[in-house]
Structure 1
């Protein structure tokens, strides 16, 4: 009987920490899930603000995809002290992830702006050729058309990536798309930035602005 009491006491001493450990782990897991949900809600806030303006959401319509695939330069607008700050950027569009990718040196005002205020606007254009008379030309033989989209303004949130596999994977994609810009892409002090696009507006060569939403709203 004494041995059984000792064994029962030892079992309780063993099981009690295990039970407490399980409960602690469960509490930690619940806390992590709560923080993830809060972070998701924070990330959704800019999306909801952007949607309130109407405009466009991914997945992009074909004209936008064509423009993003064909263009290599964009105008990036960030915010500094309540005022816009404009930068000319080389960019790469990663279609299957619906991301705009670019790089920037960490010791720039642009980088500080992105960290402090990540909501950005991006303008991309692909102007058709013009004759001496100013007529719009598009395609072989100088066929005139006014259906081509030549500018798109994108609104989204920028994420300055930490160094790691994801940032290097996107850096290599950007470098493969923009090999002539390697000096702006590879380097110890160059950060990879992605922009998740929330909304956009298209404008064609007839100055017609198109609004579109994948939600139909």
Structure 2
């Protein structure tokens, strides 16, 4: 059986993760690979409920409670969706994972990033991606994309510019600390150019 691969896409809202995940999945299927495309939160029935709470709940959610909700979703998602797919030899393409929590709940909510990371490590039993694609885009450019695409912002998208600046800085710091796993991609370039770079990176995984 062909070894399963775990590929995650990270980046701020509006950076193009969904588009690139769709293009990557289409290409992998053309190569004869069996794929599973999923997301966090929302990749399971439990995740859909968690997603509604953390992204669309009216009123405040305490930062630690928010981090725990994401970790709970991640634990269930990995146990019931991601690990079984990897064991079947599939390529899992996932929108957001551990790095999102470190960036958003750690830096964004000003919690200790090490504690947030430790919580996710425990929830996932240490499962990390083979490759993480970080689509990097300045928050102002991302906001312009979002403004042009929709009118309803979720709780995180609606945060102030300083929040998104902290998130981007955290993502870049995470990438710098783990260059073997994380590839930083300039998300301001044309979609097909980014997709071609991603295909090369995936081919390099063997």
Q: TM-score band, normalised by the shorter chain? A: under 0.3
TM-score by length of 1: 0.24
* Greater radius of gyration (CA): 1
TM-score by length of 2: 0.25
Higher relative contact order (CA 8 A, sep 6+): 2
Relative to its length, the structure with more helix (as a share) is 2
